[in-house]
Amino acid sequence: MGLWDKMRGELVDIIEWLDDSRDTIVWRFPRYQNEIKMGAKLVVRESQVAVFVTEGRVADVFTPGTYTLETRNLPILSTIKGWAHGFNSPWKSEVYFVNVRQFTDLKWGTQNPVIVRDAEFGVVRLRAFGGFAVRVVNSELLLKELVGTDPQFRTEEVLGFLRQLVAGHLGSALATAGVPLLDLAAQQLSIGNRLAGVLTAELSGYGIEVSKFIIENISVPPEVEAALDRRTSMGVAGNLDQYTKFQAAESMRDAANTPGGSASDLALGMVAAQQVSAALNKPAGPPPLPGTAAEWFVGVGGQQQGPFDLAGLGRVDGITRETLVWKAGMAAWTPAGQVPELAPVFANVPPPLPPQA
């Protein structure tokens, strides 16, 4: 430091800070050998706090206002220095101005995807990004825990630490939110508010608070986005017949725009689309009533007859309980009387006459 700078430092009796950096949290007032004259003017502007540090200890703290530095408004420093009966000579002390406004231009983002379990989609990898705002709520803690003797403490010096905290708590916040994947966008504000509270609790020992935490976007991998798009497309399509016709029209347009496409290719595409549409829209008939399926075969007079349903089986000429019957699923031809399923057929048929004596 030159002679003029030394003399100017000794003559200057106004201590103030005009911040034009927008990213400085703490700034130490420069003074040759840290000498301050008794009776000097201290100007603390709105959004600032002035902290006096003497002999390595935090002493008096001044909120916004203009002060004349005297022993009466420096009680802690007077005690440290032993000024019991007043003091008028220059004295040494470091003056740190702490910016207590909100710093709102801080960004965050996930370097690696956060893995969460979703009730509908299973295990999903999520990425997110956004911004947050911080401010100093305890200047003494900040000086002790983070700043130390740094003459100019900027946001970039603490931003990396804050981003690590965000990454460490984001996964837990998303996993425990209990919000389905498709509803995350609607819950971003509430999740952000919850994270702000968690991060503030983590930073309470450093004198910093996260006043606002904003989630701008939560995204899923491209393949999951494609699956969601297909699901959305099916929901929008609604009527499968109309959707098939739409696809056929799209195929016709593509075929017309494809070099070398033939009329036969176009016709085949139209026929295939019509067949799919007919299969999808074909009304399903009611299932057959029990006992009406034509599935029984009988052996009468050495000849195979059938198939018959149960009603038709009862009208077969010459059928008895000893008549052999068969249907799909049976291992072999079996006398009708031994098939419990055919009991109704013989309900009104008397058994054969006993042999004559």
Check whether residue 134 and residue 95 sit in a common domain. Answer: no
Choose between 291 and 229: higher pLDDT.
229
For 38-71, what is each residue's pLDDT tens digit?
888 999 999 999 999 888 888 889 999 999 888 7
What is residue 314's predicted lDDT score, i.e. its pLDDT?
80
Residue 247 has pLDDT above 60, yes or no: yes
Domain boundary residue among 99, 115, 139?
99
3-state secondary structure of 352: coil
Those residues whose C-beta lies under 8 Å from the C-beta of residue 132, and which sit 6 or more positions away, are 106, 108, 162, 166, 196, 199, 210, 212, 213, 214
> Across the strands, what pairs with 68?
41
Check whether residue 91 and residue 111 sit in a common domain. Answer: no
Check whether residue 190 and residue 108 sit in a common domain. Answer: yes
Check whether residue 273 and residue 185 sit in a common domain. Answer: no
Give the pLDDT mean for 218-234: 80
Give the pLDDT mean for 190-219: 92
Check whether residue 168 and residue 217 sit in a common domain. Answer: yes
Question: Is residue 134 included in any domain, yes or no?
Answer: yes
What is residue 271's predicted lDDT score, i.e. its pLDDT?
58
Those residues whose C-beta lies under 8 Å from the C-beta of residue 183, and which sit 6 or more positions away, are none
Domain boundary residue among 46, 76, 99?
99
Give the pLDDT mean for 322-336: 87
Give the pLDDT mean for 111-132: 87
Question: Is residue 196 included in any domain, yes or no?
Answer: yes
Question: Is residue 57 included in any domain, yes or no?
Answer: yes
List C-alpha distances in Å: 229 to 72, 224, 232, 234, 283: 72, 9, 5, 9, 29
Q: Which domain holds residue 330?
A: 296-346
What is residue 265's predicted lDDT score, i.e. its pLDDT?
57
3-state secondary structure of 99: strand
Report the CATH number at residue 143. 3.30.479.30
Check whether residue 258 and residue 333 sit in a common domain. Answer: no
For 83-105, what is each residue's pLDDT tens digit?
655 556 677 888 999 999 999 98
What is residue 229's predicted lDDT score, i.e. its pLDDT?
80
For 185-195, what is each residue's pLDDT tens digit?
888 999 999 99
For 152-161, what is each residue's pLDDT tens digit?
999 999 999 9
What is residue 181's predicted lDDT score, i.e. its pLDDT?
84
Confidence of residue 7 (pLDDT cuts 50, 70, 90): very low
Choose between 281 and 171: higher pLDDT.
171
Check whether residue 84 and residue 194 sit in a common domain. Answer: no
Check whether residue 205 and residue 243 sit in a common domain. Answer: no
Neighbour tally for 283: CB within 10 Å = 4
Domain boundary residue among 99, 125, 145?
99
**Lowest-confidence segment of 124-128, 232-236, 293-297, 347-351 by average pLDDT:** 347-351
Question: Is residue 167 included in any domain, yes or no?
Answer: yes
Q: Say how many domains are in the chain.
A: 4
Check whether residue 125 and residue 218 sit in a common domain. Answer: yes
Question: Is residue 129 included in any domain, yes or no?
Answer: yes
What is residue 103's predicted lDDT score, i.e. its pLDDT?
94
Check whether residue 95 and residue 107 sit in a common domain. Answer: no
**Tokens for 302?**
């050495």
pLDDT mean across residues, the chain: 79
For 263-283, what is each residue's pLDDT tens digit?
555 555 555 556 555 555 555
Give the pLDDT mean for 114-130: 86
- What one-character-per-residue DSSP string does 232-287 give? HHHHHH-SHHHHHHHHHHHHHHHHHHSTT--HHHHHHHHHHHHHHHHHHHPPPPPP
Check whether residue 33 and residue 119 sit in a common domain. Answer: no
What is residue 4's predicted lDDT score, i.e. its pLDDT?
43
Question: Is residue 231 included in any domain, yes or no?
Answer: no
Check whether residue 40 and residue 76 sit in a common domain. Answer: yes
Question: Is residue 352 included in any domain, yes or no?
Answer: no
Give the pLDDT mean for 22-47: 86
Confidence of residue 179 (pLDDT cuts 50, 70, 90): confident
pTM of the model: 0.59
Residue 338 has pLDDT above 60, yes or no: yes
Question: Is residue 286 included in any domain, yes or no?
Answer: no
**Lowest-confidence segment of 86-100, 312-326, 327-341 by average pLDDT:** 86-100
